[in-house]
Structure 1
């Protein structure tokens, strides 16, 4: 018989079976034993694919209501203890003017400033702010054969880029109702803005023809906020302090912060309208304040205010079409600084717009620089 011939008699063709393997060589009985190389080829067995899905813990989430140490609020601790049981007293009266609960008149300390101590972005805002080329986004990961460690996932799950958050603060003057602007800018990686509480794992089991694979993805509902501290971003003092001394004789009781996630785009102007609150001039004595280098210092007659009046002012905000507005935060001189104390730790007062929450603290420039 040659190649191409068709036999006219029955034939048996013997070939290697790629689905079987020899488990023992020929014995005295002349028989070898075999087994399937995979249960997938054994019809007598039910195949277990072992594909599965799981939501696994990835990062510990921060206690956003955690009390802070006494070092954080060193400037405010005495004010808290002096006025915590005094109705209508303001902690900043003690700090800025040196007024205590005896209601002795005090003079403005021009070395005191307000700083942006911390801020955080709501996790629900992520889908809106991660919308430009420079913004970081979440990406899916795939790994063959093995599982990724939590550290590997955190290194790879975010795309390259940064978020740029801008805080523009406004405080109106008594004689000039147009609010004055001071801008703070922070460029921050997503891992420092949000933590990922859980990672979703979809596992595909390997077969004789393919390797096992693991697929990782994040549901944005598993993002959590983190406090962001400008001092930890290597911000200098000028990128934390956002105003001159809070002189209530000449300036409003209210500070407003317009906050955005900045994206490069066409420049536009928006008009921001805010309500300003001013003290009654009867609460001050100009003559009693004295002066330093020809700068008159206003002396406050006592803690609290006899009454206040409000005005409305507008200011132009320069921004871009693509930037994402996160809201306006309003702080007031009479807001508490410390709200509670426990074992030498302190609960701070925060202000929120929904998308952004921030804390400001008075500091003494003489002891800070």
Structure 2
């Protein structure tokens, strides 16, 4: 049997592919466009593995996707492919519309054509699992209950609006055409292979380089933090036992303010790789102008996923973040390889110097 993973060279997708190949005997056809955040080095350990087939392709290329579906006949598709950085969506929303909305539409349409031709037993067993974000729900006040699957959509950035649109398309293809879909909405992921534009890997890299640790505004924006390996295990469980047409929220039950997260990072680095001058890495924290429309709080209620599917995260924030820091310390070559000149230009544009 075969599954397709789209966006499988990105942060979450590559972790999912690595875990899947390690735990399953099924072949993975890994489809990735290889934008700046898609990195073949994430998959280096799978070189020569016959159960990992990598194809460079765009989900928006319906002909290419259709040909791959015909050739490999997957039993399921897990769709990670997306532009995913809020800051980049503010500067250049067009790429987010093209990939997250138009690309998802073209992928769904190609999959629908493939699914319609399957034998009835294979049609019943087929699944299209769409990976989305808690940001589609908008922002919470301090006293509000965490996001449940029944919360209405109130996206506040071009990124979250484009993901909300893709979620609606997936839902529509189920209700209109009968395509057997599943949707997951996750909280903030962290862990190995995270591209260093996001808070945690950016601050680890900058700390070690003796550079400022940029914190937006007052640093009190609250997020629920989910270790990426826990996210991957939840997706496997939803794919295995989720009810067709349903949405499942996936969270870590770890609400923390951004500033508190960075202080934890600094304390771990102080212990594992102290600065030569004896000062704490926290001395490098620098507050920068807040980004436009910055959501104040996200929080995920993952109770439905636990009640109905028996899943809950294995890692606490403390265990997950320690594993993450150790991974970055042990993989400095990977970090240097992905932080190219274009990356440096982006940092200058976003945070100044």
TM-score by length of 2: 0.24
Instruction: Give the structure, 1 or 2, with the largest relative contact order (CA under 8 Å, sep 6 or more).
Output: 1
TM-score by length of 1: 0.23
Structure with the largest fraction of strand:
1
Which structure: larger Rg? Answer: 1
Structure with the largest fraction of helix:
2
